Structure formats: structure tokens, C-alpha cells
Amino acid sequence: MRNLIIILLLLSFALPKANAASRANVAPDAPKRVVVIDAGHGGVRPGKVHRDVVEKSYVLDVSKEVRKMLRTKMPDLQVYLSRSCDSAYHETQSADNRLRAEFCNKVGADLYVGIHANAHKDKTVNGCEVWVLTLNEKLMNQNKYVGAMYADDGDFINPEDIDRNSQSFMVALSRQLENEPYSRFFADECCKNMASYGLKNLGVKAGTVYTVLYYSECPGAIVELGYLTNDKDYAYLTSKNAKKEMATAVCNAIVTYFKTLDGGRDGDSKAEGTEQSEEASAGADAASAEELTEGYAIQLISSAKEVNTSDSQFKSYKGRVWLVMGSGSYKYKYCYGKYTSREAAKDDLAEARKSFKDAYVIKFRNGAVVNN
């Protein structure tokens, strides 16, 4: 009875902010739906590294492919990437994950999709799975060892560290009660789609409290594409068409999710989706900021004086911009990304212009603008 009363009280002050749950029945002229595709890790955090596969690079390629497919399949859907090159939001991983959630909230996302690859000390463990947020006491207690083991890396919150009497927990619980059915619907679709390519379907998981899901306001899920540490999964994930197929699986789940919410038909078939992309993802052209000394970048703003890269004027790009020196009165050029080709930079230019309408592509060499 006590738990029922608590739930009813939480529901009575459910957040007024619109999300996918509260906007299920939208008018034809409603604002565009918004999805955030979050390629896991980045920058100094590579994620899982197994043989010649680095998780942060692999999932970035898949995420860019998902965006490309969605532009064709759902042109009215507003698609954001949390990162479009090898970058991070913050040097501290727990802060990085919170800032990813903050970015998701700022753009008014209706769905958050985190894309990762898995690993396990037991190399026989294999298959695809998708995690959703749950604050169910029993499930959290069953999985609390995960939070305790990985509390230092910031991906998970140790349930024992959550103050059940705090306002932030009550707000998170209220969101979870509202969003979980939608998160599970998307997660189940994603699992089925990935399994159609031969991966073992481990199903929808809950219990582990992912930091980014805890702070996100909309329905969302962490998609684990397979276990790099398992020989069978590794062989598939490194096969010629795997990135394109995994992107198709995620893309079709997103299409089905939004069309179901809006009373439309289900997503397109696997066969249709596989025809949407080129063999090589544009993400392969995005290089590490530490490695590339000459290439292309997206200039967001120029300034007559030096500005802190974490300044609020950089909006969702704060902490991820870098300085290129030019000439003239506005010689400080603040840029995003490092790309090996102008075409790869242009692929992300449209997204940058959503926040900086005058953004454009520049060429750099050793930290200075190259005029050619």
C-alpha cells in the first residue's frame, strides 16, 4: 500500500515537459520529432578494445550510418548525433555522461539511442541486448554489484549511492514510470531487428542504472551490438556488411517507434534499409584530434579575443571546440571536429548550422588556417 501511495503521488506531479510519452497523440502540424543518436565513448575513452576493433570508432561509424538512413526514410525527423568525430564532452566520464543527457534534454529529444559494443570476461557470452532504465528496488539490488564495480568509470550509478528521499530521485522515478513502456517498445524492436542478422537475442535488460539514462528526460535505451570478446560475434561485427546491417536494425526500430506513436504504419523492411547506405561510412574520415595535424574542421565562431572553450556561447558544443589561429581582427577561430576530407566535414555541417547558422568548413595545418 505504501508503495502504491508513493507511485500515485509521483504521478500527480509528473513533469510538464513534453516527451514522446506525453505527446503520443500529436496534431498534424505538431513540431518535428527529435531523436538523439549517441555514439558511446570518444576522445580519451576508447571503450572496449579487442584485437583491431576500438569501440568508440566502430559505434561512431554505425551512428553516422543510422543518421544517413533516417534522412532518407524519415526526412521530417530531426536527427542529432551526440558526437560526429572522436570527441568527448568532459574529461571526467561521469560528467561526460551527464552532459550527453543534458544535450539530449536541451534539443527536446523524443527518443535517446545510445550505441555501444559489449565485452565480457567470459568469452563464451555472446549476443545483442538493449538496456533501459528501471528504478525498481528489487532489480537495482540484484544489479548493484555492477554499479559498485564500475562506479569509478562513470557509466553506471551505484544504487547504494542514490538517495531515495531526494527530489532528484523522485523526479527520475516519475520520468521512468512514464517513459519505461516506450523505452521497452523501442528496445524490443531493436533486439528483434539485430537478431534477424544472426545475432543471439539476449532481449531487453533492466536493473543497471546507466548514468545517461538516469538524467535523460525522454524514453531511451542503450543498444549493445554484440560481444567483441566472443569469437562468433567478433567475426560477424568485423564482417563486410555488419556496420550497415546494425545501422539498418537500429534505424528501422526508430522508424517503427515513431510511426507507431503517430499512428502510422510499421518501419520499412530490412531489405529496403540495406540499400540506403554506401559501403564505407563517412565516420571513417573523422580522425582523432590528437592525431590529425592537417585537415578540415567546422568553424563555429570567430572572435577578436580568446574565449574559454567551455563558454556557454558554444551551446551544445561547449568543451568540444578547439582553437585555430587565423589572421585579421577576428583571428581566433573556434572549430569543431577534425576531418581528413572536406566532404566528411560537410556531412556534419548541416547539423552544426542548427546552432550556428554561419558555420562553414575551413582547412587547417598545425593549428592555423590554411588559405587556398
Rounded to an integer, the average pLDDT of 197-226 is 94
Rounded to an integer, the average pLDDT of 65-87 is 93
* Confidence bin at 29 (pLDDT 50/70/90): low
Percentage with pLDDT > 90 across the chain: 52
Give residue 271's pLDDT. Answer: 34
Give residue 9's pLDDT. Answer: 44
Question: Residue 24 and residue 259: Cα distance in Å, rounded?
Answer: 10
* Confidence bin at 146 (pLDDT 50/70/90): low
Residue bearing the bigger pLDDT, 194 or 144: 194
Give residue 172's pLDDT. Answer: 85
Give residue 148's pLDDT. Answer: 55
Question: Residue 211 and residue 289: Cα distance in Å, rounded?
Answer: 26
Name 35's bridge partners: 79, 111
Read off the pLDDT of residues 91-109 as tens digits, 9 standing for 90 and up: 888 889 999 999 999 999 9
Give the start-to-end residue ranges of the domains of the chain. 2-283, 287-369
Q: Which of 198-212, 239-253, 304-318 has the lowest mean pLDDT?
A: 304-318
Which grid cell is 339? 576531418
Give residue 268's pLDDT. Answer: 42
Rounded to an integer, the average pLDDT of 221-237 is 96
Give residue 347's pLDDT. Answer: 83
Name 221's bridge partners: 113
Read off the pLDDT of residues 254-312 as tens digits, 9 standing for 90 and up: 999 999 988 754 434 333 433 333 333 333 333 334 457 888 999 999 999 999 888 88
Look up the CATH architecture of domain 287-369. 2-Layer Sandwich (3.30)
Name 299's bridge partners: 335, 360
Give residue 162's pLDDT. Answer: 82
User: Please, where are the H alpha helices in the chain?
Assistant: 2-12, 55-73, 93-106, 137-142, 144-150, 167-195, 211-215, 231-237, 242-261, 270-274, 342-352
Give residue 11's pLDDT. Answer: 45
239 CB contacts (<8 Å, ≥6 apart)? none
CA 13 distance to own-chain centroid: 29
The model's pTM: 0.72
Asked whether this chain's domains 2-283 and 287-369 adopt the same fold, the reply is: no
Give residue 8's pLDDT. Answer: 42
- Which of these CATH numbers, 1.10.10.10, 3.40.50.300, 3.40.630.40, 2.60.300.12, describes 2-283? 3.40.630.40
Residue with cell 523501442: 186
User: Do 369 and 326 contact (CB within 8 A), yes or no?
Assistant: yes
Percentage with pLDDT > 70 across the chain: 81
Give residue 275's pLDDT. Answer: 35
Question: Residue 362 and residue 372: Cα distance in Å, rounded?
Answer: 10
Rounded to an integer, the average pLDDT of 99-122 is 95
Question: Residue 15 and residue 18: Cα distance in Å, rounded?
Answer: 8
Residue with cell 590554411: 370
User: Do 299 and 91 contact (CB within 8 A), yes or no?
Assistant: no
Give residue 93's pLDDT. Answer: 82
215 CB contacts (<8 Å, ≥6 apart)? 97, 98, 101, 102, 105, 172
Cβ count within 10 A of residue 329: 7
In this structure, the strands spanning 128-131 and 220-227 are: antiparallel
